[in-house]
Amino acid sequence: MERKNPSREQKHKTRPLINSERTDLAGNAVENLILQSIPEQEFSLLRPYLEPAELPTRLTLHEPGEKIEFAYFLNQGLCSLVVLTSDGRSVEVAIVGKEGILGMPLVAGLRHSPWRAIMQIPGQGLRIASMTLGEFLAQTPELQALLNRYVLVRGLQVAQIAACNRLHEIEQRLARWLLMCQDSIESDLVPVTHDFLAQMLGTGRPSVSLAAGLMQRAGMIENLRGAVRIINRKKLEQAVCECYRAIHQFNSALDLP
């Protein structure tokens, strides 16, 4: 018997409370779930080196092949990990929100990434110099273990999205993307254009606009200028392929708040 994916409302009701008292050195609340999950002793070691960072739309945090200078823990917003081809095309292979870290290769001692990391929904977060993070991982075993699990889960997500982009129709892929995005930013309003969605899904804008139009007429979403509003999540879940449920199960394995 297939296990049903819990609704967003049910997930929020069963989530454990996070440590809402943690702040950065400027007194701003720390909302990143990884930083919320580690022991107080480990967070206290990192706190002096966590710099607040504003992350506007289209900001590139690192480019493929270039040295990663900082790791980022998002508090709000959403970042895409994108593969670029020599002919200028691109496709998204993963998204990272406040549940994760940008600069995943650093966890394995690597200094370069194969992907471009680009903010698609603006927000803010905390950054730490890559060398500093590497030095502290040996002193923060809980953080290191959590980051190791996170990197593994993101690797599974990359593989699932690659299969989805190859095997499933654009309507299913768009539904999967919108659900993943809503899970991360916890908002019904997704501030992205059809042009940007086409780049992330590795297809043309006419295909995205056609699929979005069909989904709007079916009562799933509302297409706005520069944004998409999810108006019926249940219908969207019924339209999505099995890849969304697989990715949701991967993320649940992290056991974050």
Closest residue by Cα to residue 50 from 68, 33, 79, 71: 71
- Find how far residue 32's CA is from the centre of its chain: 12
pLDDT at res. 95: 92
Domains and CATH numbers, the chain: 16-163 (2.60.120.10), 169-240 (1.10.10.10)
Alpha-carbon span 255 to 75, nearest angstrom: 18
How far, in Å, are 44, 48, 124, 171, 185 from residue 27 at the CA level?
Answer: 14, 12, 14, 43, 22
Total-model pTM: 0.86
> What pLDDT does 24 receive?
95
pLDDT at 196: 86
pLDDT at 20: 57
Rounded CA gap, 60 and 49, in Å?
Answer: 21
Model pLDDT, residue 46? 97
pLDDT for the residue 19? 56
Taking the C-alpha atoms of residue 93 and residue 164, their distance in angstroms, rounded to an integer, is: 10
Amino acid at 40: E
Taking the chain (257 residues) in runs of 10, the rounded mean pLDDT of each run is 44 43 94 96 97 96 95 96 87 92 94 93 96 94 95 91 91 95 92 89 91 96 95 96 90 77
Both tokens assigned to 234: 């249940």
> How far is the C-alpha of 248 from the C-alpha of 11, rounded, in Å?
11
